[in-house]
Chains A and B, each alone.
Chain A
Amino acid sequence: MRFVLALLLSATLVLATYSASVGFSDALAFVRKDTQILAPPKGNLASLSQFLPSGTSYGFYAPQVCSEFRLKMRLGESATGIVRDVKIDLGPESSLLVSSLSSSSQNSNVAKTIAASFASYGFTRDTNADSAEVTIEVEIMSPLSEATMRKAEWVTFTKFHFKR
């Protein structure tokens, strides 16, 4: 029985170490501006690593702290010409979770899907609106050497338009 237990725990640890190594090779590739990374687990092994606590890279804030992304949405009614900004009221922890979702927008394919997801949220809640404009903004921060001279500013990263 103890042998089976040891086997299960060893397998979990080995798989977790491999996933962490994939994250490390990803960070290394980022620093070297390279694209070659260790192949992540695929198929059943990927599912198993997600079921066991073995599917993460632990590379939080590494190799550097990336810029913050945020999504802004405006809904329009073609019949009346009214355009409204959509405000999403969220608690502190939920804001953190949404910011985790927004940060995936740095990948342009994912950005479009997330923007569509936001537009769908807007259309569901405002049945009169027939167009949505979702803007993804990124915070450009000054480097540390210019920290006292320049303030951070939000600039438009990309913009998407959707029709109902």
Chain B
Amino acid sequence: MPFTFISRCLSAICVLIMLLWSRDLFTMVGTRGLLDPNLAASLTEVLPLSIYNWISFDSLKADSAILILINFVAVIGAVLFWKPRSVLASIGLYLTFVCFKHTVALFAYGVYEFIQLGLFYVMIANLAAYAFRKSEGDALKAERMVGWFFRIHIAMAYVFAGACKAIGPQWWNGESVWRALSRSDSTGQRWFNFEWTGQYPLLLQFVGISVFLIELTYPLAFVRRLRPYIVSGMILMHFGTIVTQGLTVFGFTMISLNAYFWLESKELDSRPK
């Protein structure tokens, strides 16, 4: 059930991202795009699935390949949404999404990392369920193990995110929250103007400290009694980033991962050992 949920959420987000990309695809990438293929290709040695590893970046074939790639991601994403436990669709979506991410690496931001993370565990869970399909008990045990690793990975990511914030003074004194809220509206997505928050430094300080504290203490979500507070706090924080910073896709991806963490934990708690 939890893997069905996260599989559907992530595949829907992949389809959405491809739709958003399709609007500006050739303004952004390809032979006539903002990201010069030479620049994109210079990174390919550490990005094994970038299409520039296989296709000459100055040919029109590169444009066609990118177009085919985003269509593949969208179509396979739609298939996985329809059949969330399909082994082939989950492998296909993981490979095509990572291929896309590596090809547009210089544009990619945090959300691409977390989608890759989620799709990886969905793929492994589906593979495990398939490999142990003859014994329901073994399949459950294998999936349960994947679920543990997935939740530990999410918690590890939050701990490091919190630790990196906590070592500088700016999240302690509210400066970073002020900057995050009142930076220029370069994305065109900000729904409200939050410059007025500069009049309330204590509030900003409280928010700043709360943000890294909830990230640092995320592993406490493994404790059943504390889980509602930690996971709801985190969902609230991500909802805040959607409203205040316009990080819509990122926010919904992280809310999905948190909802998965909650569902998986509940399932494991209620299942006989």
State how many angstroms separate the Cβ of B166 from the closest Cβ of chain A: 8
Contacts A50-B102, A114-B39 given; does A97 touch B107 at CB 8 Å:
yes
Stretch from B24-32, B77-85, B265-273 contacting the other chain:
B24-32
Contacts A60-B110, A94-B21 given; does A152 touch B157 at CB 8 Å:
no
Residues of chain A within 8 A of B263, CB atoms compared: none
Residues of chain A within 8 A of B198, CB atoms compared: 144, 147-148
Main secondary structure of the interface of B (DSSP, over half): helix
B-contact 0/1 string along A109-126, CB 8 Å cutoff = 000011011101100110
Residues of chain A within 8 A of B152, CB atoms compared: 13
State how many angstroms separate the Cβ of A141 from the closest Cβ of chain B: 6
Q: Give A147 to B104 CA distance when docked, in angstroms.
A: 37
Q: Give A163 to B168 CA distance when docked, in angstroms.
A: 43
Q: Are A101 and B34 within 8 A (Cβ)?
A: yes
Contact surface of B with A, Cβ cutoff 8 Å: 17, 20-21, 23-24, 27-28, 31-36, 38-39, 45-49, 98, 102, 104, 106-110, 113, 116-117, 120, 124, 128, 131-132, 138, 141-142, 145-146, 149, 152-153, 156-158, 160-161, 163-165, 167-168, 170-171, 173-176, 178-180, 182-184, 186-189, 195, 198-199, 201, 204, 246-249
Q: Give A28 to B110 CA distance when docked, in angstroms.
A: 20
Q: A2-B141, A64-B176 are in contact. List 4 more A-B contacts (CB 8 A).
A: A47-B47, A53-B116, A60-B110, A113-B39
Q: Give A90 to B108 CA distance when docked, in angstroms.
A: 16
Q: Are B47 and A16 within 8 A (Cβ)?
A: no
Looking at chain A, what size class is its interface with the partner chain? Answer: 35 or more
State how many angstroms separate the Cβ of B45 from the closest Cβ of chain A: 8
Q: Which of A88, A90, A147: most chain B Cβ within 10 A?
A: A147
Q: Closest chain A residue to B127 by CB distance?
A: A5
Within 8 A of B (CB), among A14-59: 16-17, 20-21, 23-24, 27-28, 30-31, 46-47, 50-53, 55-59
Contacts A5-B124, A64-B171, A64-B179 given; does A57 touch B36 at CB 8 Å:
no
Q: Kindly state whether residue A81 has any CB partner on chain B within 8 Å.
A: no
Q: Give A38 to B28 CA distance when docked, in angstroms.
A: 33
Q: Give A114 to B249 CA distance when docked, in angstroms.
A: 25
Contact surface of A with B, Cβ cutoff 8 Å: 1-2, 5-6, 8-10, 12-13, 16-17, 20-21, 23-24, 27-28, 30-31, 46-47, 50-53, 55-65, 67-68, 70, 88-101, 104, 113-114, 116-118, 120-121, 124-125, 139, 141, 143-145, 147-148, 152, 154
Q: Give A27 to B165 CA distance when docked, in angstroms.
A: 8
State how many angstroms separate the Cβ of B188 from the closest Cβ of chain A: 5
Q: Give A97 to B105 CA distance when docked, in angstroms.
A: 10
Q: Are B201 and A121 within 8 A (Cβ)?
A: no
Q: Are A88 and B27 within 8 A (Cβ)?
A: yes
Contacts A17-B156, A53-B113, A99-B186 given; does A144 touch B201 at CB 8 Å:
yes
Q: Are A94 and B23 within 8 A (Cβ)?
A: yes
Q: Are A68 and B183 within 8 A (Cβ)?
A: yes
Partner of B39, one of A10, A62, A90, A117: A117
Contacts A47-B48, A90-B27, A144-B175 given; does A13 touch B182 at CB 8 Å:
no
Q: Are B145 and A6 within 8 A (Cβ)?
A: yes
Q: Are A56 and B34 within 8 A (Cβ)?
A: no
